[in-house]
Amino acid sequence: MTTLKNDTFIRALLKQPVEYTPIWMMRQAGRYLPEYREVREQAGSFLNLCTNPELACEVTLQPLRRFDFDAAILFSDILTIPDAMGLGLYFTEGEGPKFKNPVRTVADINNLPIPDPETELRYVVDAVRLIKKELRGSVPLIGFSGSPWTLATYMIEGGSSKSFQKAKSLMYEQPKYLHIMLDKLALSVAAYLNAQIAAGAQAVMLFDTWGGMLTSEDYAEFSLYYAKQVRSLLNTETGEHKIPTILFTKGGGQWLESMADAGYDALGLDWQTDIQLARARVGDKVALQGNMDPITLYAQPDYIVDKVKTILEKYGQGFGHVFNLGHGILPDINPDHVKAMVDAVHQYSPMYHKS
């Protein structure tokens, strides 16, 4: 058992008292860092980087050497589960992820296997073990997965999409089979996250990237229902501490009340959701994570500091806040601007945690 030297992030997610607001950043290991680009070139491809535990460990640790983040997040991709299901994930430069064998028929859905994380996804689990060892208890390690609905959209569309026409057509025309697919994905995601927890992840996050493109009724039936299924299957009680869980639905600000009832410890907020109003709406049910607009990091450091102050002030006094961007950092951000944000959170947040 590794005792955490800095457990501020864990305590904030569990709504326990903290001395300051912890911060980490979505996509904090990535293309905005020159050292990441060097390792990416060494790997030969993004997929090679994801499937090599030693290299995945290296890029996970890189941002912690530069910035005073309060958590590390596993470097991986949300589409590892569909790839393990046999869909043949590949990446085209400038076009994002694609699948060689997208889900197109009822037979495709019926034939989808539920991967064993310790076999088909062993490279991810091994990366978690290695990262946990290399962190030496300095900060917690976050594991993650895409949500069942988000994974399904990529699998049905064959890649990313603007309209989600194929996924939505299946939802409206053959909902029974989409439910079969989502049920398999919920079981797969839960097994995957449980394997990450067993390997050493000290918090886990479900990325529901495309839940926000649904109607309220469809979000409840096809996205949130399966996020609840995943949560009900997670092994979050360990000898170390409770494993906090985070649900992030991009574009989900209108559903915060129902999301707060899904069983997760915290909700991630995108930048379009007012954090002050969000806190008033969810009350003491969950912690909140967020929610600076990623584009803010193009601004000069003084402006970034002012925006940090505004978000901290809007959340207000008390615990239950983890500072983050409202989505992932963009690849051409100046790392010095990231430092300005991180340092400002640590400098100005203690005043909101005095008893």
* Residue 28 is assigned to a ligand binding site: yes
Is the dihedral angle over the CA atoms 51, 52, 53, 59 positive or is it negative?
A: negative
Q: Which is catalytic among the residues 7, 20, 27, 219?
A: 27
Q: What are phi and psi for residue 309, nearest 5 degrees? A: -60, -40
Q: Is 77 a catalytic residue?
A: yes
Q: Is 40 a catalytic residue?
A: yes
* Residue 27 is assigned to a ligand binding site: yes
Nearest alpha-carbon partner for 234 in 243, 221, 225, 247: 243
* Residue 31 is assigned to a ligand binding site: yes
Q: Is 208 a catalytic residue?
A: no
Q: Would you say 160 and 154 are in contact if contact means Cβ atoms under 8 Å apart? A: yes
Q: Which is catalytic among the residues 11, 40, 231, 279?
A: 40
* Residue 30 is assigned to a ligand binding site: yes
3-class DSSP state of 201:
coil
Q: Which is catalytic among the residues 7, 36, 70, 77?
A: 77
* Residue 209 is assigned to a ligand binding site: yes
d(C-alpha 174, C-alpha 348), whole Å: 52
In a 10 Å sphere around its CB, with 0-12 CB exposed, 13-18 middle and 19+ buried, how is residue 102 labelled?
A: middle
d(C-alpha 268, C-alpha 205), whole Å: 9
* Residue 241 is assigned to a ligand binding site: no
Q: Which residues contact 157 (CB under 8 A, 6 or more apart)?
A: 102, 164, 166, 167
Q: Which is catalytic among the residues 154, 192, 219, 315?
A: 154
* Residue 80 is assigned to a ligand binding site: no
d(C-alpha 72, C-alpha 89), whole Å: 25
* Residue 37 is assigned to a ligand binding site: no
- Tallying the residues shown for the chain, one arrives at 355
* Residue 231 is assigned to a ligand binding site: no
Kindly list the catalytic residues: 27, 31, 40, 77, 154
**Binding site residues for substrate, as ranges?**
27-31, 77, 154, 209, 327
**Binding site residues, as ranges?**
27-31, 77, 154, 209, 327
